[in-house]
Chain A
Amino acid sequence: MNDPTTGPAFGAATIDDCEREQIHIPGSVQPHAALVVVRDGAVVQRSTNLEAVLGGTADASTLTDLVGADVASLVESLARSGDRKRQHRRVTAPSGDELDVSCTATDDGRLLVELEPVAGAREPARDFQDLVTEALTRINTATTSAAVVEEVVAFVQELTGFDRVMGYRFARDDHGEVVAERRRDDLEPFLGLHYPASDIPAQARRLYLEHWLRLIPDAAYTPVPVEPTLDPDTGAPLDMSSVAVRSVSPIHCEYLANMGVRASMSISLVVEGRLWGLVACHHYDGPHRPSVAVREACEFVALAASVMLGARRSEERTARDGEVQRIQRLLAEKLLLHTDLVDGLTADPDALLGLLDASGAAVVVGGRVQTVGATPTDDELRALCESLADADLEAGEPVVTDCLAELVPSWNAPDTAAGVVALPLSSLQRNYVVWVRPESRREVRWAGEPAKAIVRTDDGGTRLAPRGSFAEWVETVGGRSRPWDDAAPQILAETKSMIATHLTRSAEQLAQLNAELVRSNAELDAFAYVAAHDLKEPLRGLANYATFLAEDYGDVLDDDGRMQLDLMLKLSERMTGLLTSLLDYARIGRSDLQRTDTTLGALLDDTRSFLGGRLADTGGELVLENDGPLDADPELLIHVLLNLISNGLKYNDSDTPVVRVGLTVPSATERGATLLRPSVIDEHEPPVVYVRDNGIGVPADRIEEVFRVFRRLHNEQAYGGGTGAGLTIARRVVERHGGVIWLESTEGEGSTFYFTIGSRP
């Protein structure tokens, strides 16, 4: 019984018991006070220290016998007076000793009477009501939560004389932090230390909510049994939840002993029905017992502090709401100033970060990443958004987590982003606004090592052991950040609607710009068409008159003069070619597509006839490799094929120029270095047409140039010349079909043009 780990109702605690430990039915009390259970005036259970407390006259079966009729009737009236809250009076026992009597009435009509000698209790000599009043005044005028806690801690320390009094605040994950401290000067400060949630088990926190003050005057006490252990009428163990002097868990005593604490007291701070924190008191040098009156004063001031904490908390929340609104207004302004969403959101880094009090933030739109503050790399952020979209976690809702690794196991949480808030802008396109917070181990000093709360026993089981080491320890369990604000979902919803407004406005502007662009493009095409057509007429006149001049006056000109006339003709021809290309280009923009269900083979047959002698002239071959259906404008597509194939034959030094044409699937196209094409082709798109030659190829650095209008890679004379508009026209035809055209080429080995034909709108 002296072994604290084998108290009356406790075996050696095992880890399985840890959260279930029945601390409300210990079956014993602490020695500093006696407990008597009374039913209908008769004593049914009593603690075995009753004689010692009362001074020897414990051999009685009624409350009246024990404490005298006066006290007994007082107790009865106290217990019945209010609700079941504990009532207290200071009385004089029959022995003449002063006693603090506290009692509670149970549901089934029993009285739980605690008798605590005043002798030996610590109490200020003077009337401490002044201290209470002063403390209440200071608490009332404290402007912040921190100041309120500071005041209650100072008051408790001054009134009780504990060596150390701490304000202890629970985080949302129930781990605690020391936020205020009064201590003896020679003691090591605990201020700022964090304690894991397991230090105060859940059932203890529940009890703390109901009964606000606990006292252990001497952690090295020997528990005093209550006899009989079970209620003689009901056979039930005695529920001591409301009994202040109940014996505490031996684990707790061991925990205190490990800290070198001899006496301890704690008072609950309860805000909005939740355990906000504790005023925790430690005494080191010996037992320490503030009197019941002192304890009640502490409890009262703690209650006042709790009320003020609630008020301050709503104020702080209001202030935070105001701050969030200010930031949202700022962001809205920035979005108005920037047509680009990414620029707008990141224009004021402090605003974006401050919205959720994050240490880093990023906007990821269409693979573009813009970051502010401390974030993972762009690639990591892109991967994160991919993972979030793949995991389909959000279903369009924001993700708010202080441990992303729990949601996305593949996420190898970088130090910068253990906790993540992701606001999907469009989950389809994997666009997000992301806020990150680092691992909290970067921010928190842990007291003791949380991971060592469990030890193995010799028989292979596990046992809960109070943490042995209280040197500061930085927690190594990674991957978790400080929790996000409770208001985060609300803030995100508002932010999202703000962004939606911006996007709607941008979309309208874009539609307007598009309409203008379409109109001006059409005008440009019309202009080019008319210009090219009308320019041909005077050009034709020039050419014809030059011809006539040569015919009529050739014999009066010398060779030089005739050569110049000839050159005029050649230049006219060249200009005609350019104008014809321009006309073709403009015409493709102007004419409606005449789509037909045809096949590549059929189009290639027509192309072959257009090629006419050119194939034979070059000694080349034209091979159809994979035929298949195509839904396209035949005239325009033949134009494209003709162009690509004649290019393949023309720019070709092989003995036998060969051009192969066929259909392939998007994934089969190679992704070489000399690739010019969009990065993504949807697999559901229609097949890809390829035209592959064994010609001279295009140098990698010039691939982009080939599609530029009137851009030629070779001089006029080489490879039979050309206007340099062919590929531009080919690209326009493909784009008018909703497709894309690109080129893979290896210099000296040949080129492959690929193009797609989009579905009919």
Chain B
Amino acid sequence: MSDLVVLVEDAGADVMTARRMLGKLYPDVTLEHFADGEQLLEAVAERSPTSWWPRLFLFDLNLPGRSGIDLLRAIGDSPWAAIPKVVLSGSASAGEVQRCYDLGAAGYLTKPMGGEQLKRTWETIGRYWFEHAAPALRPDGYEWLADGERPASGP
């Protein structure tokens, strides 16, 4: 089963960039796109971690309606809390960066502007999250744990 990356991004050019860069670098990775936070939350409300378990969330910070900050909070309180969440933003202010990390963001990246920077950023994302970092375990993964280590009740 191929890795799934969930992208919440309202800007078409940024969505296209992500698709292209990921598609070129990691053709096996599937990108699921939501144009705003509302759509994501509506979708997850109907889904179960057992059938839908992304490898990575990518949130744009400035979204219409619910912001990336709101999504960090919402996903952090959901069954998908364990999945790494990376924030992408057009600009970085120290206050925003801090707030994102406080809410459990696994990373905060300033969106690159073309050229080498563009390439390097996506290579770094892919190499780290898809090649080096261990994936978060979905609930049905508990079965390989010893009896005593299993949560009392799975979702």
A546 CB within 8 Å of chain B: yes
Given A541-B11, A541-B14, A548-B20, A533-B114 contact (CB < 8 Å): no
Contacting A at CB under 8 A, from B1-29, are: 11-14, 16-17, 20
Within 8 A of B (CB), among A417-452: none
B95 touches A580 (CB 8 A): no
Q: How far is the CB of A591 from chain B (nearest CB, A)?
A: 7
A555 to B53, CA, bound (A): 41
Q: A543-B114, A572-B114 are in contact. Are A635 and B90 (CB under 8 A)?
A: no
Query: Smallest Cβ distance from A586 to chain B, in angstroms?
Result: 11
Give every chain B residue within 8 A of A538 (Cβ-Cβ): 13
The answer to whether A540 and B111 touch (CB under 8 A), given A533-B62, A545-B13, A548-B20, is yes
Max chain B C-beta neighbours (<10 A), residue from A533, A542, A543: A543
Instruction: Give Cα distance in the complex from A539 to B114, angstroms.
Output: 10
Task: List, sorted by A's number, 18 A–B pairs whose CB atoms are closer than 8 Å.
Answer: A533-B62, A536-B90, A537-B11, A537-B90, A540-B13, A540-B14, A541-B13, A544-B17, A544-B118, A545-B13, A546-B114, A547-B114, A547-B119, A569-B114, A580-B91, A583-B91, A587-B93, A591-B95
Q: Check B90–A544 contact: CB distance below 8 A.
A: no
The answer for the CA separation of A532 and B91 in the assembled complex, in Å, is: 10
Distance (Å) between the CB of A584 and the closest chain B CB?
A: 8
Q: Are A544 and B95 in contact (CB under 8 A)?
A: no
Chain A residues, Cβ within 8 Å of B112: 540, 544
Task: Please measure, in the bound complex, the distance between the C-alpha atom of A619 and the C-alpha atom of B17, giving whole angstroms.
Answer: 39
Looking at the assembled complex, report how far the CB atom of A212 sits from the nearest CB atom of chain B, in whole angstroms: 93
Binding site for A on B (CB under 8 A): 11-14, 16-17, 20, 62, 90-91, 93-95, 111-115, 118-119
Residue numbers in B under 8 Å from A539 (CB-CB): 113
Verify if A247 is at the interface (C-beta below 8 Å from B): no
- Let me know if B90 and A573 touch, CB within 8 A: no
Chain A interface (Cβ < 8 Å from any Cβ of B): 532-533, 536-548, 569, 572-573, 576, 580, 583, 587, 591, 635
The residue on A at minimum CB distance from B62 is A533
Which residues from B are CB-within-8-Å of A580?
A: 91
Q: Is A544 a contact partner of B113 (Cβ separation < 8 A)? A: yes
State the Cβ distance, A662 to closest chain B Cβ, in Å. 26
Bound-state CA distance A541–B93 (Å) is 21
In the docked arrangement, what's the CA distance between A533 and B17, Å? 18
CA distance A525 to B3 in the complex (A): 43
Are B94 and A573 in contact (CB-based, < 8 A)? no
Measured in the bound complex, the distance between the Cα atoms of B90 and A533 in whole Å is 7
A544-B118, A635-B94 known; 19 other A-B pairs, CB under 8 Å? A532-B91, A533-B62, A533-B91, A536-B91, A538-B13, A540-B14, A540-B17, A540-B90, A540-B114, A541-B14, A544-B113, A544-B114, A547-B114, A547-B118, A548-B20, A573-B113, A580-B91, A587-B93, A635-B95
Residues of B within 8 A of A546 (CB): 114
Minimum C-beta distance from A108 to chain B (A): 103
> Which partner residue on chain B sits nearest A541 by CB separation?
B13
Q: How far is the CA of A536 from the CA of B62 in the complex (A)?
A: 12
Return the chain B residue nearest A579 by Cβ: B91
Q: A533-B62, A537-B14 are in contact. Are A543 and B115 (CB under 8 A)?
A: yes
Residues in chain A near residue B94, CB distance under 8 A: 635
- Give bound CA distance, A540 to B11, whole Å: 10
Chain B residues, Cβ within 8 Å of A548: 20
Kindly identify which residue among B17, B62, B95, B115 contacts A569, using a CB–CB cutoff of 8 Å: B115
Q: How far is the CA of A689 from the CA of B114 in the complex (A)?
A: 40
CA gap between A580 and B112 in the complex, in Å:
13
Residues of B within 8 A of A533 (CB): 62, 90-91
A532 CB contacts on chain B under 8 angstroms: 91
* B91 and A540 form a contact (CB under 8 A): no
- Kindly identify which residue among A537, A541, A547, A583 contacts B115, using a CB–CB cutoff of 8 Å: A547
- In the complex, how many angstroms separate the beta carbon of A549 from the nearest chain B beta carbon? 10
Whole-angstrom CA separation of A545 from B119 in the bound complex: 13
Docked-complex contact A572 and B95, CB < 8 angstroms: no
Contacts of B118 in A (CB 8 A): 543-544, 547
By a CB distance below 8 angstroms, the chain B residues around A547 are 114-115, 118-119
Task: State in angstroms the CA–CA spacing of A576 and B92 once bound together.
Answer: 13
- Chain A residues, CB < 8 A from B12: 541
Q: Which partner residue on chain B sits nearest A635 by CB separation?
A: B94
Q: B94: shortest Cβ distance to chain A, in Å?
A: 5
In the A-B complex, the 3 residue pairs with the smallest Cβ-Cβ separation, listed nearest first, are A541-B13, A543-B114, A547-B114
Q: Assess whether B13 is in contact with A544, with CB atoms less than 8 Å apart.
A: yes
Contacts of B119 in A (CB 8 A): 547
Q: Given B11, B16, B113, which contacts A576 in the complex, CB threshold below 8 Å?
A: B113
